Amino acid sequence: MGECSGAASYRLHAVLAQLRRLLPYLHRYGWRYTVGATCVIAAVALRFSIPFLLGDSIDSLRETTDVAPEDAGRLREQILVGALLMIAAAAAGAFIRTTSRLMILGNSRLAVHDVRTDVFAQLLRLAPSFYVRHRTGHIMSRTVNDMQNVQGLLGPVFMYLVETGVLYSVGIAFMVAADPMLTLVGLAPFPFFLYLARRLARRVQEGSRAAQEKLGDVSAKVDESLSGQRVIRSLVVEDFDRQRFDELCLEYRATMVSVAGSRAILTATMTFLAALSTFLVLAVGAPAVSSGAVTVGQLVAFILYLGMLAGPTRTLGFVLSSLQRGAAALGRIGEILDMPVTIADGHGEGEIRDGEIDVSRLRVEFASSKDEIFLSGSLEEGEVRGGRVVLEDVSFRVPAGTTLGVVGPVGSGKSTLLRALARQVEIDPGMVRIDGNDITELPLPEVRRQVAVAPQDAFLFSDTVANNVRFGEPEAPMEQVRDAVEVAQLSADLDQLPAGLETMLGERGINLSGGQRQRTSLARCAILRPRVLLLDDTLSAVDTHTADAILARLRPLMADRTTVVVAHRLSTVRDADRILVLDEGRIRESGTHDELVALGGYYAEVYAQQSQREGLERELGVEEAS
Ligand SMILES: Nc1ncnc2c1ncn2[C@@H]1O[C@H](COP(=O)(O)OP(=O)(O)O)[C@@H](O)[C@H]1O
Ligand SMILES: [Mg+2]
């Protein structure tokens, strides 16, 4: 340990501050927790009644030897009643104890479910910039881990704290009632043992965590060796590979052995504690029995009380470290819950009907990390890019129902432009208007429904193709799903899949090719029939021929809709009503395809290069991957 008490008390303060977050959840399941806690108290009282009854019976037993026979009969009856009472108390205690566990531990599942739902809802609400800063893998593993610790708080930690608290107070009350002096003597070694228990508990927990990680290494190694076994064999490095595996296994074994050692020491220490306090009580109590101040029964009961406190003292070591870890986890979860949702909902009443876009002097600056949240060292700080202007002085108009093409080098701000139009990044009022409504005033659900983005890297869920397509419109009938799939030119691909639209994708299913994924995400947008469709290089992984076919199919569908198409391949935007060339966040060129080619600038140059290459590829019969 070694921290000074100041640090320790600060930690206690911090722990309490974090625990306040749980109050709403505890409150929601208040009556169940109350019943649970009441059962804990009742069970403890019943447990303590056993030594009490036993002590009484022993005293009665002793008396039977030196009383008249008729009195002895009465005493024997009394002892029998005592024994029956003890059995009843034990049975009732066990029953009530089980009830308390079912109540509190079951409750913790309900309550942690609510915490989890709240955190998930918040994660979905958070501005996309959060995800630029924090790796999703980290967010996931941290939250999953933290949730477990929080559940510990809501369940076992709560229960053991109540139980231990009640055990100590009831136990001490019983003992003081029997003999205050003996109580002091018996409890004297406890603080020292509690300290030991905490240290050992921490060592066991840290060791267990390390063992878990080592086991993870071992499984990762097995996975790697099995999937790479052909390479391993062809390079004849089996021995080397086995040696590496052996090393990992040995490390795992060593950690496990050390954990078992700490556990054994902990058990031994606590057994010793019980023995030591028994010894002290006997040493001090024996003369008191001889002098008649204490009865033998009371002394036996006393030793049993002390024994009942040794177990919880051991558990308390674990409970206290779980409490600390739980509070830290709660702190991290709290940071996520407290994060400002930077995209504020608009308060206007506006509606998007035609999809006319009017952008005037759009400027997008990404805040530096200082203004933004990052989880106080608990999450690894992701990519942080300091306050930089990504779009500057961008103005253009897209009349309703027309198509705008956007091209430009990587990093010129094309994706950011689309995200500004879909209100996925925060912008100042007055920069983007749709149908005359300032986008920052429009209610977010309206924007989300009417402005659909098919992103550069389509994300598909582990679900069926059909459900992925109707993700934004879960109620959409199969007819519409088929139409959308048709528009996205995905039907032929689906015929190749084992179960067509019902084929499972992702982790528990098959993986689609890049082009197929893009077309699935396009279908996902098409089914929404939005007023404004934004395609972020959505056809990049689709071959030219299919891309043309998709555009042809989209055109009638989009006849009265507004489309903004970002593209790498200029042939994709050739037929757009107007094309913008972005460079370093500014508009460099703008016009129709013919105008831009005639202009002889960036567009003309790239177009010449691409047509040459495409011509060459056609001649050589090179197919682009779809
Ligand atoms: N959330 C963000 N925070 C900070 N910088 C960003 C963020 N998103 C994009 N950028 C930066 O903005 C610039 C434009 O990016 P982007 O719009 O993705 O370009 P393009 O789509 O044209 O390749 C890049 O330099 C990128 O690093
Ligand atoms: Mg981009």
Residues 568 and 429 grouped into a single domain: yes
411 Cβ inside 6 Å of ligand 1: yes
Residue 609 within a domain: yes
Domain count, the chain: 2
Domain membership of residue 193 (yes or no) is no
CA of residue 390 to ligand 1 center, whole Å: 7
Q: Is the pLDDT of residue 356 over 80?
A: yes
Which CATH number fits the domain that encloses residue 365? 3.40.50.300
Ligand 1 close to Cβ of residue 130 (< 6 A): no
Please check whether residues 464 and 593 belong to one and the same domain: yes
Q: Is the CB of 414 under 6 A from ligand 1?
A: yes
| CA of residue 282 relative to chain centroid, distance | 53
Rounded average pLDDT over 360-378: 60
Residues found in the chain: 626
CATH (domain of 78): 1.20.1560.10
How far away, in angstroms, is 574 Cα from ligand 2 center? Answer: 19
29/146 same-domain check: yes
Query: Is residue 336 located within the same domain as residue 363?
Result: no
Domain limit, last residue, from 290, 305, 340: 340
**Sequence letter at residue 70:** E
Range of the domain at 376: 359-620
Could you tell me if 330 and 390 lie in one domain? no
Given 288, 311, 340, the domain boundary residue is 340
41 lies in the same domain as 125? yes
Q: Are residues 375 and 335 in the same domain?
A: no
Any domain includes 197:
no
Q: What percent of the chain has pLDDT over 90?
A: 28
- What would the pLDDT profile of 435-486 be if each residue is shown by its tens digit? 999 998 888 888 888 999 888 777 888 888 999 999 888 888 999 999 899 8
42 lies in some domain: yes
Same domain, 331 and 398: no
- At residue 252, the pLDDT reads 92
Type of residue at 487? V
Which ligand ends up closest to the CA of 364?
A: 1
In a domain, 253, yes or no: no
| Sheet hosting strand 403-407, strand order edge to edge | 451-454, 532-536, 562-566, 403-407, 578-583, 586-591
Range name among 127-141, 321-335, 476-490, 501-515 with the lowest pLDDT average:
127-141
On whether both 415 and 332 belong to a single domain, the answer is no
114-128, 165-179, 184-198, 258-272: segment of lowest average pLDDT? 114-128
Q: How many CB atoms lie within 10 A of CB 126?
A: 19
Predicted pLDDT at 145: 83
Q: Work out the number of other CB atoms within 10 angstroms of the CB of residue 73.
A: 12
Band of residue 306 on the pLDDT scale cut at 50, 70, 90:
confident
The band of 507, judged by pLDDT with boundaries at 50, 70 and 90, is low
Say if residue 552 is in the same domain as residue 506.
yes
- Are 390 and 335 within one domain? no
* Residue nearest (by alpha carbon) to ligand 1 atom 18: 415
Write down which residue in 340, 367, 397 finishes a domain: 340
Quote the pLDDT of residue 156.
92
Print the SS3 string covering 212-242.
Answer: HHHHHHHHHHHHHHHHCHHHHHHCCCHHHHH
| pLDDT for position 87 | 92
Q: Are residues 395 and 431 in the same domain?
A: yes
536 CA: nearest ligand 1 atom? 21
The pTM assigned to this predicted structure is: 0.60
- Choose the weakest-confidence range: 141-150, 350-359, 463-472, 505-514: 505-514
* 575 domain-assigned: yes
Confidence of residue 342 (pLDDT cuts 50, 70, 90): low
Mutate to test the pocket of ligand 1, among 385, 457, 573, 581 (most ligand atoms within 8 A of CB): 385
Position 345 in a domain: no
Q: Would residue 505 count as lying in a domain?
A: yes
The candidate with the shortest Cα–Cα distance to 16, out of 323, 313, 321, is: 323
Residue nearest to atom 1 of ligand 1 (CA): 129
